[in-house]
Chains A and B, each alone.
Chain A
Amino acid sequence: MNAAAVKTRAGKGLLIAALLCFAAFSAGAQELNKAETDKLNAYETAISSADPLGAKAFLADTDFTDRLKLAAPEKAAALKAKAQALNDLETLLDKPWRDNEEMALSRALSLRIDFNKPLEKIGIGPAPGNLLPWMAKYKKYSAHKEELVNKAIRQFEVIFGTSPAAAANKPSWEVMTIRERNVFLAEKANRTLEGLIGSETSTDKAYRDKLKTAEIFKYLDPSGQGRYQRYLSQLAAADAAKAKLSPSQLDKIKDQPIEQQMYLLGGLFDKSKTRGAVNLERKVDASRQSKPGETLSFQNNQLLAGMLQTSMVGEVKGTLAGDKIIKFYNSGAKLNVAIESCQGCYAKYEPSSGKIILDSEMIQQYMRVNNLTAEALLKDKAQVAALAKYASPIFVEEATHQMQHAWADKANVYKPYVQEDEIEGNSMQALYTTEKMRKDPKFKDLFLKMEKSTVYAQKRMETMDRFNEGPVKFDKMIRQVYYYGTPSFDAASSQILSAISAELERRKTLDAAALTEIEKSGVELKDAMGMTVQELSGSAADIKTAALKKIQDDLLHASVYTGHYESASDWTGSMLGAVQTSQGPKSKVGAL
């Protein structure tokens, strides 16, 4: 053995000793000491009793939560999920809810208080009755807010009154979740609405006022609400149009239900020249159903979708938001625009198919208002380009959602659909519209014309205005007013973490055969990564352990997500500043 060999052996010995020391240290470091165990017990006691202050303290104590993640990862995830859920519930209820946001509050609560939700594990839910004692114990809200929460959880007496006859049904109502109660009430409201649309012939103000104040319609689900609002618009448009008709014309449409009245009115006002009649025609056209030539056949639909896809790229090019999107598509992402019924929305990105779907009714409404048949539209490139202009703000928003999914795929993290996605999407839309309004006179002219007759155009202008009034305030409006029913990242993350922790705990009690069966036939990581928050929470028992642990690990590193959302929000905010500075009109407000 030479000196070099001795030196090598000695080096190896030192390395092994160092590794042993490190291993011993790591094992020691991973176990909580007495003080830390006491602290954990105090947090567990506070959070288990649904104390929101305990939850806040735990979430704020990042040194301890990091330590707990190392020592007991599953316990850390479970406790964090409960604490986040409690914190999220408190934040939700603290918001200044309006009376007419009762349904919004109800939906937001139903997302949180139900079967298999983190709140259920700390005594709030699945039936909502125990929310009120919790509010009384930990929160001191105004009498108005308490009343609103009673309405939002569909308390039995609020819905059915206090008569002894009604009381017989109370026990079965009490065990229903908010979601189940809303489904029951929505079905009842939908049946009433459809009955009126199909048979009622009145369109006058007294009838419309009666409809507007009818309690039953506040329970309509989103698609029912859309139909109800459209019905009200149709009634108003028909009533205004009827005032211009002769007695013989009026005679033709009396005794007809509303859809038939709108169809006949569309024919009576076609291509009117006088200014008042043009506006009336646009309103009638915007509200009525399409006539045969104004609908898109399957072939025309395919053709138009392809033409719009090309036009849309050209349309958004040269704007800050548009160039960001084009860069994304030029980097290999696939753009696939389709025209389909969006079921109550103007557009959506569908991750499963990779398609951006533009609502067929929105496009057909544009055609009706502009007196275009499908054939005339497809023959005229300038008309297709104008339609692309009209749809481009909502396209920018949906392309942003596609970019969000691509980001998650690239970062290899599970991505729940959350409010923060909509803050970025709506901000991109508003930034784009702001810039186009300043740079593109044709775009501006089109929207100034269309905002007089379509709510779609009015809403794009409103989104732009609210964003320009201040992006920070816009962020709050998105969360509170527009996307109340969508969970925040915190809420979604806590729900999933809770479901995964519970499932991993359950698996510790399973026998080898049951575990083998899950690993053999359970859901693979790839499929689990594509699941929604609800799907993942509801089917944790069917997902392979490695997939559950991967998603748990993703969500425990919350800064990956919050960093992404904050960076997106900072970008749109600062780009608005750039648009304001470079193109905006000079401030005429002098200093005081």
Chain B
Amino acid sequence: MLKLLLSFFLLSGCSYAEDNAPAAQPKAAAAKPAQSAAAKDPAYVMERFTCLVPAGWEISRDKASEAKNKIYELGLIGPRAENAPVMIYAAYYAKDNRDFKTYPEFVTRNSKDAIGRTETPTRKYSAVTETTLGGKKALAFEREVKEFLHPESTSEESVQVREKFYVLPAKEGFFVLHYYAPVSAFNKHLPVFKKFLSTFKPL
């Protein structure tokens, strides 16, 4: 019975972390906070990185998928615009992750379409540029996508989204920071993403 109560208690902590309204911090993180230089709030602790969750944004994770695929991704869902959410993803791709052998492979496959084009009737990609993030070298690029909401049916309903990526190599594996917004809201919420980037700390 004690074991049962304990398991309820532990699950309660996890759920609080992920389902609470936006500014809530995970109990695991609260128990062992990683203090941010920019703020006194405890940072959200993920596999190999910490970050601060912007106020008013919901947290989304799939721990079963993380364990299986070795891609540890924190999803943050922000305000809605043009019928779609603005989202920030921060992910650590472990060395033995399921999808990419190296970070250049990730960049190649995400900065062009599947046949190497940078412009198609439904997509447009920017060039990949070298930059720095928190003093570390990174690669950055953007893309704009006409996203169909019902590929299985003959419906043509779609939403135009713009995405921005930063890819940082790690000692083992790599990090991806990804901003996703409807075109009309991209610039409006970009400062939130930039502030988020400033709180992102690889461990």
Binding site for B on A (CB under 8 A): 35, 38-39, 42-43, 46, 52-54, 56-57, 60-61, 90, 94-101, 139-145, 222, 225-226, 229-230, 232-233, 344-346, 359, 361-362, 422, 426, 433-434, 437-438, 444, 451-452, 455-456, 458-459, 461-465, 467-473, 475-476, 481-483, 570, 573, 577, 580, 585, 587-592
Contacts and interface: CB of A to CB of B under 8 A. Distances in A.
Contacts of A470: 71, 99-100, 106, 109-110
B62 interface: yes
A225 B155 contact: yes
Contacts of B111: 589
B126 interface: no
Interface stretch (B10-18, B30-38, B40-48): B10-18
A142 B22 contact: yes
Contacts of B84: 98-100
Contacts of B147: 462, 481
Contacts of B101: 577
Contacts of A451: 120-122
Given A451-B121, A590-B104, A592-B130, A476 B156 contact: no
B87 A96 contact: yes
Contact of A359 (B79, B102, B121, B154): B154
Contacts of A144: 79-80
B19 interface: yes
Main secondary structure of the interface of A (DSSP, over half): helix
B123 interface: yes
A482 B145 CA distance: 16
B197 interface: no
Given A434-B114, A458-B148, A462-B148, A98 B80 contact: yes
B20 interface: yes
Contact of B148 (A459, A468, A473, A588): A459
Given A61-B4, A573-B98, A580-B105, 18 more contacts: A35-B1, A60-B7, A98-B84, A141-B21, A226-B155, A229-B154, A346-B154, A426-B151, A455-B156, A459-B148, A459-B151, A462-B148, A464-B114, A468-B114, A570-B98, A589-B128, A591-B104, A592-B139
B109 A96 contact: no
B108 A461 contact: no
21 contacts: A39-B4, A53-B8, A94-B60, A96-B75, A96-B77, A98-B159, A99-B84, A100-B149, A100-B157, A140-B20, A141-B58, A142-B56, A345-B152, A422-B152, A451-B121, A462-B145, A468-B109, A470-B106, A589-B111, A592-B137, A592-B169
Interface residues of B, number: 69
8 smallest CB-CB distances across A and B, nearest first, come from A100-B83, A96-B77, A589-B104, A468-B114, A229-B156, A99-B83, A587-B108, A592-B137
- Most interface-central of A39, A61, A96, A589 (chain B CB within 10 A): A589
A57 B24 CA distance: 23
A592 B133 CA distance: 13
Given A226-B153, A589-B104, A99 B123 contact: no
B150 interface: yes
A444 B155 CA distance: 24
B29 interface: no
A425 B178 CA distance: 27
A95 B101 CA distance: 28
B69 interface: yes
